[in-house]
Amino acid sequence: MSQKKWKIRNLHKFLLWIFITVISILFLLPVLWMILSSITPNNVVILYPPRWIPKHPTLINYIKVFTTTETTPVGRALINSVIVTFPSVVLTLLVSSLAAYPLARMKFKGKKFLLLLILMGLMIPLQVSFISLFLIFNAVGWLNTYQALILPAVISPFGVFLLRQFFISIPGELEDIAMIDGCSRFKILFVIILPLSVPALSSLAIFAFLGSWNSFLWPLIVMSDPNMMTVPVILSYYLYTLAGLREWGSIMAVAVVASIPTIIVFMAFQRYFVQGIATTGIKG
Amino acid sequence: MKRIKKTGILMLAIVLLFAFSTSVLFAKGTQEKQKAAGKKEAAPAGKVVVNYWSRNGAPLGTVMGSMIKKFNTANPNIKVKMQIMTWGGEYYSKIRASIMVGKAPDIFDVSVYAPAMFLKYVESYTKEDLSQSGINISDYAGSAWNALKFDGKYYGIPIGIFPIGLYYNKDLFQKAGLDPAKAPTNQSQFIAYGKKLTKDTNGDGKIDQWGTMEVNWYNLVGWIWESFMVQNGGSLLNKDNTKAAFDSKAGIEALNLYVDFVRKYKISPAPGDVPAAFASGKVGMIIDFVHGLSGYKGKVNFGIKRMPSFYSKRPHMSWASMNIFLSPKGLRKDAGKWKATMTFIKWIMGTDFQKSFALGAGEMPSRLSAFDALKSDPLLGDIAETIASGQVFFPPSVVNATEIFSVMGDAMGQAFAGKGSADKILGQASKRVDQILARTK
Amino acid sequence: MGKIIKGSGLFKKTISPYLYLLPFLAFYFILQLFPLVQNFYVSFTEWDMMSPEKPFVGLFNYKTLFFKDYLFWGSVWATLHYIFLNVPLKIVIGLGLALLLNQNLKGKTFHRVAIFIPFVLNTAVVGLLFRWILDPQFGMFNYYLEKVGLGPQKWLIEPKWTMEIVVLVTIWWSIAFNAIIYLAGLQGIPEELYDAGKIDGCNAWQRFLHITLPGLKNTTMFVVIMQVIGSFQAFGNIYMLTGGGPLNATRVLMLHLYEVGFYYFRMGQAAAISVIIFIIVLVLTIIMLKFFREETE
């Protein structure tokens, strides 16, 4: 490569770098504002003109959030959210992979129809089906239980459709070789297809995690026991306090607490979905 | 063989699923069973548990919670279990869903317009019921009970009143050369004060401090305008709540005045986040719910007075909501629970509770004897007198009240956005309200 | 029948696809299709969510919507407005960000995390955070606008530009969804294709047109379909940011449904709206599937 070409390429890369870095910072600003507000006392945070860095940073908002356990047991809610979210994610991945595999790789009668049927699931406004779901879970006596939050989250037409699209784009040769070697379909799915789909699975894991973690209306309707509330329900408590004045500092503190687990999970998974393909050895 | 085993396991899982699904589809009779089960779990260790759901967060809910603790210690055989649910429309979804499956709490609180929606599903009280529990209607602000009266019976217990009042910033008053002990009491004073308070404090040529401010789009449901209209002799609906009545001279004048704060007198900016504006000292006077006051304590030096008389036909009348207790229909049949619930209600309606709740949370009592203690309170005194003298009115309790509020909110928005004259806007809104009322019959 | 019993291999082939699908489908039928059917039924009844009976009223709810609900047609229009802004912007920006993130630039983890972080936030937080930032008198946004001389604007107070703001906030909040899917799709395009393209003397733009875009066909189909369906379902972001206002400028169908169902408690009418949304989306999806299939062939 000639010196000049190299320079142009580097300049090109540098401009792209500037561009994406500016975008990244713009994306982060509101989040930064949220975090800074959470360490600002409630009566300072509403002052105008707005101040980015508080003169006297404080943890008082966090202390308040964690100590008013009677109305809003944040600690308990965090535990509940974890209890609900992890099985939801694992089961979503399992059930969706099983369902997506034949839709992507096998020929059978009614495939098109089933695909459309599954897509139909995405078109139902959830808000109205909650009423029917509530009746179903009431009929089997599962109101106020964790499975009432887990089961609806596991059925993810989105996940099936996502995985199917990725399974289709995996080249078929590997599978054919395995087939000749006498591998069962089941084994092929778990030993060949799924490891190759790590990017898609990671994406789905993140979406399933967020969907479950942030879901608000359904937990609110199905849970009556304060000890079964999840984090978004607690969050909404702070948003809807009756008195006109919103305590932005406290709201932002809860928001930060509610977001930390999702940020951690994302950080953990984002590496996988980028490295996914590279580590499977299919690429040169 | 492995594969057959695998298939078998899968099939088994599916059979279980179908069992589950059929049990759902054929479980119509379970509702009654569940009701019975609900009763069983409610009586541990000889105590009667009264489940109470509240839509009120801080401060009302939290103050109530700590006072209920006292009730529970004073009544060892009753345990009132209070549960604060989220504020917002979702609370009512939850209440309705629980009524639908027969799992409603023994008491739930609702807003003033709600009882009409629940008539078929909640207990009603006759005068005798109430007096047996030691509640005499004449001891309370009469308008409160009247708002809950349908077909000669009372649907709900009016435990407290939330009027709107005039908040004013004493420091800003002083700086503007106004007497911080006196709030405006009529229309011309309000506007004059507003003009003095509207100014450019930092000298950059732009106004940054306002006389007053309107609540923003989201909460714009017309309570303030309605107060003006009622003071001017109008009303939202006709006497028997079957037709809109606000499309009147009183209503149109009131709406013009409301909008003129922004347009003609320029004492109010565009609608915005009023509480934040008041708390940060950017607005001199706001009209808002009295129980919001605890949020401002320690942030601004403020006072609260009754609504000024913007019109003189019914002076100082101000819109008010209520905190109402409802109990699901059938509670009466469970004698133990009913008795415990009524004991709790009697305590809530007693002078002691009513007085200390008002001082603690800012909700006005419904019991008249509680007002005497409040009249000397520097913050709540004037408001207490307003209620004691009957200068509050409640919105009509009709089945589709919330929908009517939305129509009125749209009308307010249109007026502030300048989409037509007041009479045109109210005329259109009144047709819409008539349509809504006609549908619910 | 005879064939299936004779060859167990054939039996497996015929039955096994369904077996894989069964765990999903069984729950799917109970938890999603059953509510769908029930909802369809409710749309022909009058129900306040409490009463044990649901009196049958025929097409009353639909007639009310079409002829007597002054907000319905406005919300159809708002939905279209939202979709025409949201879908193309999010697809183009999502792909653009994915391409940028896929470059081996310095600090790529930082970029990826920065763009993704808004997505993990709760909708309610996003809505309220931006309401506060955009507050006409006290918001930070107007503060800086004034500093650069663009004066205070009545954000979210006047109907003008409100939908655009809603879409911008939505992009900020959820563009990571498209970016991440496209990124995963880009990772799935074999590197050799690009190497081959370079050897053949293709420039970057040609490589993008002839290798990247075709390689992202499945991904794009997925993103487009999800985006269209998702836009019809958009609710939380708009609900928390504007509540449908000002003057119903952002009252999309889902918001109208929610208000009719869960504030006015006319469940029959809410169900009718959901049936209408469902049918529109179903027809659109079938058209999109057909379109993509023909494209591939």
Question: Domain total for chain A?
Answer: 1
pLDDT in tens, A217-260: 888 888 888 788 888 888 877 776 544 667 778 888 888 888 88
pLDDT tens digits for B388-397? Answer: 888 999 988 8
- CA of A248 to nearest chain C CA: how many angstroms apart? 9
**DSSP string covering B218-262:** GG--SHHHHHHHHHTT--SB-TTSSSB--SSHHHHHHHHHHHHHH
Alpha-carbon B429 to chain mean position: 23
Contact A284 C123 (CB under 8 A): no
pLDDT digits (tens, 9 = 90+) for C41-93: 999 999 988 888 889 999 999 999 999 888 999 999 999 999 999 999 999 99
DSSP B204: S
- Has residue A42 been placed in a domain? no
Per-state percent for chain C, helix, strand, coil, to nearest 5: 75, 0, 25
Domain B163-319+395-439 falls in which CATH fold? Answer: D-Maltodextrin-Binding Protein; domain 2 (3.40.190)
Instruction: Look up the CATH number of domain B46-162+322-393.
Output: 3.40.190.10
**Any chain A CB within 8 A of the CB of C34?**
yes
For the segment A33-39, the average pLDDT, to the nearest whole number, is 90
Which of A131, A134, A240 is the closest to B87 by Cβ?
Answer: A240
Specify if A52 maps to a domain.
no
Q: Which of helix, strand or coil describes residue B326? A: strand
The residues spanned by each domain of chain C are: 1-42, 59-296
Question: Using the beta-carbon criterion (under 8 Å), do A184 and B20 form an inter-chain contact?
Answer: no
Mutation site for A-interface testing, chosen from C12, C24, C255, C269 by largest number of A Cβ within 10 Å: C24
Half-sphere exposure of B3 (CA within 13 A, CB side): 14
**Per-residue tokens: C22:** 């069964």
Q: At A251, list the tokens.
A: 């709201």
Parallel/antiparallel/unpaired status of strands B157-169 and B318-326: antiparallel
* pLDDT for the residue numbered B30: 40
Q: Is C193 on the interface with A (CB under 8 A)?
A: no
A175: closest CA of chain C, how far (Å):
16
Neighbours of A44 (CB within 10 A): 17
Find the CB nearest B96 among C50, C70, C135.
C50
Give the nearest chain C residue to A30 (CA atoms). Answer: C129
Chains A–C, number of C-beta pairs less than 8 Å apart: 269
d(CA B317, CA B413): 23
Q: Which chains touch A (3 or more CB pairs under 8 A)?
A: B, C
Of the partner residues A71, A186, A220, the one whose CB lies closest to the CB of residue B62: A71
Residues of chain B with pLDDT under 70: 1-45, 86-88, 216-220, 440-441
Distance CA B30, CA A272 (A): 48
Condensed to tens digits (0 to 9), the pLDDT of residues A260-269 reads 888 888 887 7
Of the partner residues A43, A134, A243, the one whose CB lies closest to the CB of residue B58: A243
C contacts of A131 (beta carbons < 8 Å): 35, 42, 49, 267
A1 within a domain of the structure (yes/no): no
Mean pLDDT of A34-43: 86
Q: Is the dihedral of CA C130, C132, C134, C135 positive or negative?
A: positive
Q: Please state the rounded mean pLDDT for residues A1-22.
A: 80
Q: B155 phi and psi, to 5 degrees? A: -105, 95
**Residues C256, C70 contacting (CB under 8 angstroms):** no
What are the chain C neighbours of A235 within 8 Å (beta carbons)? 122, 124-125
Average pLDDT score, chain A: 82
pLDDT at B212: 93
Q: What is the pLDDT of residue C96?
A: 94
Q: What is the CATH number of the domain that holds A114?
A: 1.10.3720.10
Which numeric CATH code is attached to C59-296? Answer: 1.10.3720.10
Q: Answer whether A154 touches C (CB < 8 Å).
A: yes
Whether B296 and A131 lie within 8 Å, measured CB to CB = no
pLDDT average per 10 residues of sequence, chain C (297 residues)? 44 75 89 89 91 90 91 94 94 93 82 87 83 79 84 79 92 89 81 84 84 86 88 86 84 92 90 92 89 64
With respect to residue A32, please indicate whether it lies within any of the assigned structural domains: no
- What is the structure's pLDDT at C292? 78
Confidence band, pLDDT 50/70/90 cuts, at residue A277 = very low
pLDDT value, residue B17: 56
- Identify the closest residue of chain C to A92 by CA–CA distance: C24
Give me the total of CB pairs closer than 8 Å, taking one residue from chain B and one from chain C.
111
Tell me how far apart the alpha carbons of residues C169 and C156 are, in angstroms, rounded to a whole number: 12
On whether residue A8 sits in a domain, the answer given is: no
d(CA C228, CA C86): 9
**Structural domain that includes position A127:** 63-280
Q: Give me the residue from C31, C116, C140 closest to A155, CB to CB.
A: C31
- Please tell me which of the candidates C49, C138, C158 has its beta carbon nearest to residue B97: C49
CA-closest candidate to residue A139, choices C133, B426, B101: B101
The residues of chain B that CATH labels 3.40.190.10 are: 46-162+322-393, 163-319+395-439
Burial class (CB in 10 A: 0-12, 13-18, 19+), A3: exposed
Q: What is the pLDDT of residue A282?
A: 37
Question: Could you tell me which residue, A105 or B230, shows the higher pLDDT?
Answer: B230
Find chain A residues with C-beta within 8 A of C174's C-beta: none
- In tens, the pLDDT along B115-171 reads 888 999 999 999 888 998 889 998 998 888 988 988 889 999 999 998 999 999 999
User: Is B57 in contact with A240 (Cβ distance < 8 A)?
Assistant: yes
Using the beta-carbon criterion (under 8 Å), do C100 and A31 form an inter-chain contact? no
Q: Using the beta-carbon criterion (under 8 Å), do C247 and B92 form an inter-chain contact?
A: no
pTM flag (> 0.90): no
